[in-house]
């Protein structure tokens, strides 16, 4: 069964989605409110995987390039673009 | 295959690109010596009667260094993190299509056609059909090589400097023209 993706943007107006209900899988408790998604969760799956890879490589772009099979400047550019995107999301 | 031909910079390490670029430049300079070709500008290739062994090497050194210096300055102006090796690799690899052109002068084939059309009066012009076809093929290949050079240079620079905007593209084109002028001037001086 393919992994389900967490939607982060409204399919109707493309605005950022908020979390309005959380549920406990053990006891069935439901928590309602309005909680904005953390910045990292507002990125798409590829971007989140990229950040995870960066973390697991201890921040070594060279190691990431080797693992991903792409060149160092390509990895660096992806990181720079992602940093810019996260800064924009943080300022919203 | 498409990526290897038009954007190897995305995939290969800087060391691999540098070694391949340097080796290819040396081999191409040797080939130009045997085919009497001169690279007297960034995007130029001309034929000569006799070419000294050192000439194509000096030509390529001047063209590579000139283009590298100007592109590196632009790269750093766009993005401080631009690395010299990435720009150098861009220049070395981008010039490879141009190195194919002297091969059309194996056994002085192209030079002999050039001499036969270099007449004082148009009425004296005598061109055989096979020569005309050869010339047309050379013209077509030259244009394709030039386009290939431009694509490689742009893709490589885009990755080296992470350039994005239309303004960057305009500056890139301007720098290429400046590099061509500067390289021609340096060739003229020596």
Beta-carbon separation of B86 and A80 below 8 A = no
Q: ipTM surpassing 0.90, yes or no?
A: no
Q: What percent of chain B has pLDDT over 70?
A: 98
Chain A residues closer than 8 Å to B88 by CB: none
Reported as a pLDDT band with limits 50, 70 and 90, residue A1 is: low
Nearest to A77 among B11, B12, B162 (CB): B162
Beta-carbon separation of B162 and A72 below 8 A = no
Strands B37-38, B46-47: parallel, antiparallel or unpaired by DSSP?
A: antiparallel
pLDDT tens column, A34-73: 888 888 888 888 899 999 999 999 999 999 999 988 999 9
Q: Model pTM?
A: 0.85
pLDDT of res. B24: 95
**Contact residues, B window 60-89, toward A, CB-based 8 Å cutoff:** 79, 81, 83, 86
Tallying the residues shown for chain A, one arrives at: 92
pLDDT of res. B51: 86
Helix axes B109-117, B129-161, angle to 10 degrees: 110
CA distance B172 to chain A (A): 18
pLDDT tens column, A30-45: 989 888 888 888 888 8
Structure tokens at A67: 């693992």
């Amino acid at each position: 069964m393919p992994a389900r993706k967490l939607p982060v943007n409204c399919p109707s107006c493309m605005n950022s989605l908020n979390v309005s209900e959380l549920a406990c899988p053990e006891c069935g408790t439901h928590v309602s409110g309005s909680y904005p998604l953390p910045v990292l969760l507002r990125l798409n799956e590829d971007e989140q995987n990229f950040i995870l890879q960066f973390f697991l490589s201890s921040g070594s772009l060279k190691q990431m390039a080797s693992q991903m099979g792409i060149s160092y400047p390509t990895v660096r550019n992806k990181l720079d673009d992602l940093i810019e995107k996260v800064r924009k999301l943080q300022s919203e | 295959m498409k990526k290897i031909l038009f954007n190897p910079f995305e995939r290969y390490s800087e060391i691999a690109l540098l070694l391949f670029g340097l080796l290819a430049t040396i081999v191409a300079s040797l080939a130009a010596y045997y085919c009497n070709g001169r690279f007297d500008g960034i995007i130029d290739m001309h034929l000569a009667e006799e070419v000294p062994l050192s000439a194509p090497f000096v030509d390529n050194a001047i063209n590579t260094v000139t283009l590298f210096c100007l592109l590196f300055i632009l790269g750093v102006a766009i993005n401080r993190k631009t690395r010299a090796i990435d720009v150098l690799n861009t220049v070395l690899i981008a010039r490879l299509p141009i190195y194919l052109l002297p091969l059309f002068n194996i056994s002085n084939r192209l030079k002999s056609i050039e001499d036969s059309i270099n007449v004082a009066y148009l009425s004296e012009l005598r061109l055989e059909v096979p020569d005309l076809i050869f010339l047309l093929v050379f013209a077509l290949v030259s244009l394709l090589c030039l386009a290939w050079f431009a694509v490689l240079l742009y893709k490589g620079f885009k990755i080296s400097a992470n350039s994005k905007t239309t303004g960057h593209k305009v500056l890139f084109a301007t720098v290429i023209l400046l590099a061509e002028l500067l390289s021609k001037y340096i060739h003229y001086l020596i």
